[in-house]
Amino acid sequence: MCEWCYKHGAGKKWYLNSRNYLQDTALEVGAHEYIYELWKNFEKVYLKRIFGISTKGPGYKFQIPIIGRAIHSYINSWFGKEKPLKGRDPMKAEGHAGQVVTLEDAKKILELANPILRVHCACRLMTRGVKDQCCLAFGALAEMVPRLPRYIPESGTEPMDVGEAQAFVEKMQEQGRVATVWFGPMPYIAALCSCELPECAATRVRTAYNLMSLYKGEYVAKLDLSKCTGCQACTTQCQFGAISFNASMGHPFIDQWKCFGCGLCAQACPEGAIQMVDRLSIPALKEVW
């Protein structure tokens, strides 16, 4: 488990601690006001005030010697801090904002969240102007959405029960979407998104610039060669460059250092040759988030 699991997980993963979904927790951390300001100014927060770069562009500032390294270190220092309620500013990052989760854990999250609304993806709306109802808002965020009409589908707010939401994220993963769960603010949990590269703002800046807005998942993919037939179904699923096919050996290679633990490759394998194993079970990876 990462440091946030130890602090906010109550002995579990941070996103499986039921307390992090409670209305009382939302009120304790001022989640309603925080979320409203964050989502109202989403483009400003992620493109200007926090990163100073565009997720569409080359991030030239990071390529400048010395200055680039200094900016990188400065921004990443924000993600190692958890700010107190007094003076908490949604326009500046704190802790890690989100984490990749498997479909199994995404379904467990939905058993804890209430109410659940399906809303437009802020990242897709920001980067391409596309209205895609692929994100699920919980609790305080669901309560704030009526004040943020651009995230409401044309058909109106779409409440979902647990079963409907679980079926929805399963459908999203069948389409190659990666599930991510989000603090808003720590330790309150506000959303479960189903997005992909290059649209997902947090995934983009993590993979392109190694800014710690998004943590790798609690699991990593592991290949059982005795079951693998070399069909290559898994190689088309990974958005993180962790799987390549070794033609001479006739099977894929999984680079666990690059694996974000989304589980899409395991779901795609018709032979069940890929399993998702606990990151902590691999000593070299237990601190690689």
Q: Please say whether the beta carbons of 226 and 258 come within 8 A.
A: no
- The upper half-sphere exposure of residue 232, i.e. CA atoms within 13 Å in the direction of its Cβ, equals 7
**Collapsed DSSP state (helix, strand, coil) of residue 164:** helix
Secondary structure letter of residue 177 according to DSSP:
P
Q: What is the pLDDT along the chain (289 residues), one digit of tens a residue?
A: 677 888 899 888 999 999 999 999 999 999 999 999 888 887 665 554 444 444 444 466 667 777 778 877 877 887 878 888 777 877 777 777 899 999 999 999 999 999 999 999 988 888 788 889 999 999 999 999 888 888 888 877 789 999 999 999 999 999 999 999 999 899 999 999 999 988 888 898 899 888 888 999 999 999 999 999 999 999 999 999 999 999 888 999 999 999 999 999 999 999 999 999 999 999 999 889 9
Calpha distance 33→64 (Å, rounded): 37
**Secondary element (H or E) of residue 209:** helix 201-209
pLDDT tens digits for 111-143?
999 999 999 998 888 878 888 999 999 999 999
Compute the CA torsion angle 191, 52, 5, 186 (nearest 10 deg).
-60
Q: What is residue 258's predicted lDDT score, i.e. its pLDDT?
A: 96
pTM of the model: 0.90
The bridge status of strand 214-215 relative to strand 98-101 is parallel
Between CA 2 and CA 71 the distance in angstroms is: 24
The β-bridge relationship of strands 219-223 and 274-278 is: antiparallel
Give me the phi and psi of 107, to 5 degrees please. Answer: -70, -35
83 in Cβ contact with 89 (< 8 Å): yes
Q: What is the pLDDT of residue 58?
A: 47
- Residue 160: the pLDDT is 95
Q: Which two tokens stand for residue 81?
A: 């801090």
- Residue (of 161, 75, 180) closest to 121 by Cα position: 180
- Has domain 219-285 been given CATH number 3.30.70.20? yes
* Residue 170 CB neighbours (<10 A): 15
| Distance, C-alpha 261 to centroid of its chain | 11
Kindly calculate the radius of gyration of the chain based on its CA atoms and give it in whole angstroms: 19
Give the pair of three-digit tokens for residue 240: 């993180």
- Give backbone dihedrals phi and psi of 172, rounded to 5 degrees, phi first: -60, -40
Half-sphere exposure at residue 98, Cβ-oriented, CA atoms within 13 angstroms: 24
Bridge partners, residue 100, by sequence: 180
**Would you mind telling me the total number of residues written for the chain in this entry?**
289
CA 104 to chain centre: 15
Domain ranges (residues) in the chain:
3-215, 219-285
